Amino acid sequence: MMNISLKKHYPSTDSSFFMDIRLSIEKGEFVSLRGPSGSGKTTLLRMIAGLEEPDSGCILNNGEIWYDSNKKQKMPTMKRNIGFVFQDYALFPNMTIYQNIAYGNKNKNKIDYWIQNFHLGGLENRRPDRLSGGQKQRAAIARAFASERELLLLDEPLSALDQNLRACLRTKIRDLCRLENHTVIMVSHDLADSYLLSSRVIGINNGNVEMNISPDKLFNTGDSSRKLSFNAEVLKIIESDVLIVLQLSIDNTAGEVVVTRSDADGLKVGDRIRISAKAFNPIITKLNHG
């Protein structure tokens, strides 16, 4: 089990930001951290990894002290049994993808296994500057798994992937973590990632834990309801005698809705809007075949 109790103060010209985090994470758990940008999620991962130092507190992992301000103890990052996927991937630029993945594991069969699992076949001899963002992200995930660390810290690990590959790798990560009994702490803004991968979802806001629930309860929070709801940007407003057609960008996909004049009152091109509909009569079209 990992026990975390950390405090850190961030002074600024506008306002002060104070982190006060207390968490316990069981061995083999897959925990998602959710919350708005700037709430402290990535900072928490960096403090667990020893890349950033708290003002006070302690991190105790399976009885081993990783950090204790009272005892003035801090275990170096390299000695913590951690695999980390950073938002910027942090691949070694002077190494090929094969060498990056092999950095923490010299077993050729295992390296080949991770290359194939994360769809990197044919890219082994390329350096990071010759890869797309999605390829770099897959290489960073493969390197973290190949290191065979007990604890994985994943910071938006699937954000650069298209939806089909994201769904495929989501399943792969879930199955591998269960097989290897990894403990995982993942930062993600994606609801599907949190719901399908996690055994527990922790909400962080302004440096404090505000939610600690099972994934199923995500649909019972104050931010959700028994409605379909999505955000969109207004691209064009087409007027008729009675109704108005709004042409929209919805997650980078074009769509149209018909609304009344009263609903469209005050809207203009470029506005961001939220559209909600009762969920008991949806029209569903499958987008992928798998």
| Domain covering 2-220 in this structure, CATH number | 3.40.50.300
Contact between 67 and 26 (Cβ < 8 Å): no
Which has the minimum average pLDDT: 13-17, 39-43, 73-77? 13-17
Domain ranges, ordered by start, for the chain: 2-220, 227-278
* Beta carbons within 10 angstroms of residue 74's beta carbon: 15
User: Given the DSSP bridges, would you call strands 200-205 and 30-34 parallel, antiparallel or unpaired?
Assistant: parallel
pLDDT at 231 (0 to 100): 85
The CB-based long-range contact list for 58-63 (8 Å cut-off, 24+ gap) reads: 58/3, 58/4, 58/5, 58/6, 59/2, 59/3, 59/4, 59/5, 59/6, 60/2, 60/3, 61/2, 61/3, 61/151, 62/1, 62/2, 62/27
| Domain covering 227-278 in this structure, CATH number | 2.40.50.100
Per-residue pLDDT of 151-208, as tens digits, reads 999 999 999 888 888 888 999 999 999 888 999 999 998 888 999 999 999 999 989 9
pLDDT at 288 (0 to 100): 57
Query: For residue 14, what pLDDT band results from cuts at 50, 70 and 90?
Result: low
Per-residue pLDDT of 33-62, as tens digits, reads 999 888 899 999 999 999 999 999 999 999
Q: Do the first three CATH levels of 2-220 and 227-278 match, i.e. the same topology?
A: no
Per-residue pLDDT of 125-165, as tens digits, reads 999 999 999 999 999 999 999 999 999 999 999 998 888 88
Per-residue pLDDT of 219-272, as tens digits, reads 766 555 556 778 888 899 998 777 889 998 887 678 888 888 888 888 899 888
How far is it, in rounded angstroms, from Cα 219 to Cα 279? 13
